[in-house]
Structure 1
């Protein structure tokens, strides 16, 4: 049953299996295991970014396509949900059609980019996607009457998904059972479902053909596969998943703006997560997103504690000062690439640890 649920793509490493189970259980019970606003916010971001990074791995790792437009699709999904909720009110109908509209628009954009650009060499396609994503970000910033410009959009979501709604008055394990908890589990279960759908896609005949196209496009074309069609389809599927991840972020934050969805910094973070976890392994998205977001969130706090503990040693205290957390994050990334050139999942599977 578990093998069928995982589409036959098991972790193939006891250590990897243990890590994935720890992450799954931690996310499933995060509000109870790690109470506190910051912990739950971090867990929700991890869920959303697992979907986002996995959708990019579907494009980069399984199809061999380098795109810089992924945050554009992420933003389209977020803005689709935000506009639906801000214009028609905080109803479930608006929530559903906003998510559907965002995914649909992202699919159309991806189809247009794919059909017009995937016939060119990889580097030119990457440049085209970068130009399109940059133009889209500028457009969103300029259309303040529609998108809120640089300030973004604030909106209401259904009351049952807000902290004001109480499912029961009593606390369970010292946790309030309110709308915020329901919103977290909406994000969690939708993220799990989307991840399993992508796992099914990459382990289907379609997914195996994508790998053949990635490994040798000329050979795949020679034996009868329409390479452009497969690449375009993969681009569209990846865009739809990214848009749905954006919708989840919009629901969770109740705010959508260029900085939270469209920035180049987010695109770079996605690339780092894919490389750290391991390209061409959706499980790599789970590990990469979890490690990267935990480092982003808690590394500065850990360095602050280390700086205080080493205050008697001036040089060490200066090196681990909290304001240098980005430097150490970069060093950690370099070390991970050096010691895990195929990503964490690739290394664990090779070692069968």
Structure 2
């Protein structure tokens, strides 16, 4: 009943349902199940990237739009929070103003890009978004006095969200502002993810899927394809900006490498493909697998190399410095064995 109220989109797979519940429970109880700075940071990154990947899936998976500007919108949200926190007094109002300003700026830029570019063929639109994103990244790096340039910006957030704020102990875990900060990220990402899930399972989402499958036919039966694509772009950009704002609140630092890097764009694209395009639930599994691999694959390889010291060749192959090679191999294998993504494979068995 709750699933029908939220979206009407059931996982339609017992294994997928179990995996999603495990992820939800682990993220909800992360401070208690996985104590320590690094696990909590990993859990927060997973939450942020689930929202970021889901917002991109709205574009790529449901509307069929290939965009390389998504991290630019992510950066708008992050820099919005940073600049508001620097130029306003430290407080919740700065976070709110920065978050809303970043989302508004992202939506407006997405609207302008969509208005002038979504009439062209998909590959040309992708190139236009890449050019705009690259120009913004260069501009951010050069406007040192405003954005901090390559060094980025550090700023203060409300004391209630910092480790200095202490509340006591719960189940042996010391509750401080860092944990409150984590739950701000977790619950906001969860709420926005459910909003996206509701959107793609609404009549609006159905029209987007029709446009993805055959835009000429959708236009012929009366739907304004450019208007729907532009609306989807604006929604996706605003959600990406919200993800960037939460990331900025968590890190208390923004810079070109953490929010505007093209590597992040490629990571997001990989997460969508691995999890399953046009499913939303794929964003959850794709982000979890990718972030965990980024953070722990090198450590696991180091442990494996230590355990196989007496064997020929294997310790060299498991050298932690080769973790990117194995990460690439894992992704190639996942795409080969799961051509429709993990969620698509679990739902159809194909």
Give the TM-score normalised by the residue count of structure 2.
0.99
Report whether the alignment pairs 1:212 with 2:215: no
Q: Distance in 1 between matches of 2:218 and 2:90?
A: 48
> Runs of 4 or more off by more than 3 Å in structure 1?
none
Match of 2:335 among 320, 334, 337: 337
Q: Distance in 2 between matches of 1:26 and 1:77?
A: 27
| Cα-to-partner distance string for 1:303-323 (whole Å, 9 max, x where unaligned) | 000000111123110001000
Structure 1 match to 2:2: 2
Structure 1 residue 89: Cα displacement: 2.3
Match of 2:276 among 259, 272, 278: 278
Structure 1 residue 5: Cα displacement: 4.2
Structure 2 match to 1:130: 130
Q: Distance in 2 between matches of 1:102 and 1:52?
A: 14
Match of 2:325 among 321, 324, 327: 327
Other structure's SS at 2:233 match: helix
Match of 2:348 among 347, 350, 353: 350
Structure 2 match to 1:236: 234
**8 A Cα contact 1:42 1:293, kept in partner:** yes
Q: Distance in 2 between matches of 1:11 and 1:325?
A: 32
Q: Distance in 2 between matches of 1:58 and 1:113?
A: 17
Q: Distance in 2 between matches of 1:93 and 1:321?
A: 48
Structure 2 match to 1:299: 297
| Cα-to-partner distance string for 1:217-252 (whole Å, 9 max, x where unaligned) | 000000000000000000000000000000000000
**8 A Cα contact 1:71 1:261, kept in partner:** yes
| Cα-to-partner distance string for 1:324-345 (whole Å, 9 max, x where unaligned) | 0000000000000000000000
Q: Distance in 2 between matches of 1:13 and 1:94?
A: 43
| Cα-to-partner distance string for 1:50-91 (whole Å, 9 max, x where unaligned) | 000000000000000000000000000000011000111221
Q: Distance in 2 between matches of 1:70 and 1:133?
A: 8
**8 A Cα contact 1:340 1:347, kept in partner:** yes
Q: Distance in 2 between matches of 1:252 and 1:3?
A: 30
**8 A Cα contact 1:89 1:156, kept in partner:** no
Matches within 5 A, 1:1-353: 1-168=1-168, 171-351=169-349
User: 5+ residue gaps in structure 2?
Assistant: none
Q: Distance in 2 between matches of 1:6 and 1:26?
A: 21
RMSD: 0.8
Q: Distance in 2 between matches of 1:97 and 1:5?
A: 31
Give the TM-score normalised by the residue count of structure 1.
0.98
User: 5+ residue gaps in structure 1?
Assistant: none
Structure 1 residue 156: Cα displacement: 0.3
Other structure's SS at 1:35 match: coil
Structure 1 residue 172: Cα displacement: 2.0
Q: Distance in 1 between matches of 2:61 and 2:96?
A: 30
Q: Distance in 2 between matches of 1:174 and 1:238?
A: 40
| Cα-to-partner distance string for 1:254-301 (whole Å, 9 max, x where unaligned) | 001000000010000000000000000000000000000000000000
Other structure's SS at 1:176 match: strand
